[in-house]
Structure 1
Amino acid sequence: MDFAHVELSDEDSAFQTELREFLASIVTDEVIARDRATGENFDEGVHLALAERGYLERDYRPAEDGGFTAVRRRIWELEIGRAHTPWFHWGTTAMVAKSVEQFGSRELVAEVMPGVLAGRLRLCLGYTEPDGGSDVATCKTRAVRDGDGWIINGSKMFTSNAHNAQYVFLITNTDPAAPKHKSLTMFLVPLTSPGVEIQAIRTVDGDRTNITYYSDVRIPDHYRVGDVNGGWSVLREALNAEHGTVERDAEGLQKIATMTEHLLLLADGLDRVAGIVGRPDSTGRRPVDDESVAYRLGRAAARTEAARSTPEKFGRVAIAQALRELTPDLMDILGTAAVLPVGTDGAADAADDGGIEYLFRLASPMGIYGGTLEVFRNMIAQHELGLGRPNYSPIRAS
Structure 2
Amino acid sequence: MDFSTVPLSEADSAFLARARAFLAEHVTAEVRRRDRETGDNFDEGVHLALGADGWLAAEFDDTLTRVQRRLWALERRRVHVPWVTWGTTQIVAASVRRYGTPALQAEVLPGVRDGRVRLCLGYTEPEGGSDVATCKTRAVRDGDHWVINGSKMFTTGAHNCRYVFLITNTDPTARKHKSLTMFLVPLDTPGIEIQGIRTVDGDRTNIVYYSDVRISDRYRLGDVNDGWNVLRGPLDEEHGNVAAETDGLADVSILGHQGWHMLTTIDKAAAILSEAGADGQRPIDDASVAVRLGRSLARAEAAQSTPSIFGRVAIAQTMRDIAPDLMDILGPTSLLPADTAGAIDDGDAEYLYRWAPLCGIYGGTLEVFRNMIAQHVLGLGKPNYSPPKAAAS
The equivalent residue for 1:256 is 252
Task: Look up the SS of the partner of 2:40 in the other structure.
Answer: coil
Task: Work out whether residues 244 and 307 of structure 2, in 8 Å CA contact, stay in contact via their aligned partners in 1.
Answer: no
Q: Deviations over 1:220-244 (max 9, x none)?
A: 1101111011100001111011112
Q: Residue type matched to 2:133 in 1?
A: A
- CA pair 3-336 structure 1, distance change in 2 beyond 3 A: closer
Task: Work out whether residues 141 and 154 of structure 1, in 8 Å CA contact, stay in contact via their aligned partners in 2.
Answer: yes
Report the TM-score when normalising by structure 1: 0.95
Task: Look up the SS of the partner of 2:6 in the other structure.
Answer: coil
Q: Deviations over 1:272-307 (max 9, x none)?
A: 211221111222111111110011111111111111
1:184 aligns with 2:180: yes
The equivalent residue for 1:339 is 335
Q: Deviations over 1:107-139 (max 9, x none)?
A: 111110000111000000000000000100000
Query: Which residue, 132, 137, 140 being the options, matches 1:141?
Result: 137
1:266 aligns with 2:262: yes
Query: Which residue, 277, 292, 295 being the options, matches 1:296?
Result: 292
Query: Which residue, 203, 216, 220 being the options, matches 1:220?
Result: 216
Task: Work out whether residues 242 and 309 of structure 2, in 8 Å CA contact, stay in contact via their aligned partners in 1.
Answer: no
Report matched runs for 1:323-334 at 5 Å.
323-334=319-330
RMSD: 1.4
- CA pair 239-144 structure 1, distance change in 2 beyond 3 A: same
Residue 344 of structure 1, CA deviation: 2.2
Partners of 1:284 and 1:382 in 2: CA distance: 55
Q: Residue type matched to 2:362 in 1?
A: Y
Task: Work out whether residues 126 and 156 of structure 1, in 8 Å CA contact, stay in contact via their aligned partners in 2.
Answer: yes
Q: Deviations over 1:234-260 (max 9, x none)?
A: 011110111122344543423211121
1:19 aligns with 2:19: yes
Partners of 1:57 and 1:89 in 2: CA distance: 15
1:239 aligns with 2:232: no
Residue 396 of structure 1, CA deviation: 3.1
- CA pair 2-98 structure 1, distance change in 2 beyond 3 A: closer
Alignment identity in percent?
A: 63
Task: Look up the SS of the partner of 2:306 in the other structure.
Answer: coil
1:51 aligns with 2:57: no
Query: Which residue, 104, 109, 114 being the options, matches 2:100?
Result: 104
1:377 aligns with 2:370: yes
Partners of 2:57 and 2:142 in 1: CA distance: 36
Name structure 1 gaps, 5 residues minimum.
none
Task: Work out whether residues 77 and 255 of structure 1, in 8 Å CA contact, stay in contact via their aligned partners in 2.
Answer: no
Task: Look up the SS of the partner of 1:34 in the other structure.
Answer: helix
Name structure 2 gaps, 5 residues minimum.
none
Partners of 1:77 and 1:244 in 2: CA distance: 17
Task: Work out whether residues 268 and 345 of structure 2, in 8 Å CA contact, stay in contact via their aligned partners in 1.
Answer: yes
The equivalent residue for 1:317 is 313
Partners of 2:15 and 2:359 in 1: CA distance: 32
- CA pair 78-179 structure 1, distance change in 2 beyond 3 A: same
Q: Residue type matched to 1:122 in 2?
A: R
- CA pair 252-286 structure 1, distance change in 2 beyond 3 A: closer
Residue 357 of structure 1, CA deviation: 0.7
Query: Which residue, 354, 357, 362 being the options, matches 1:361?
Result: 354
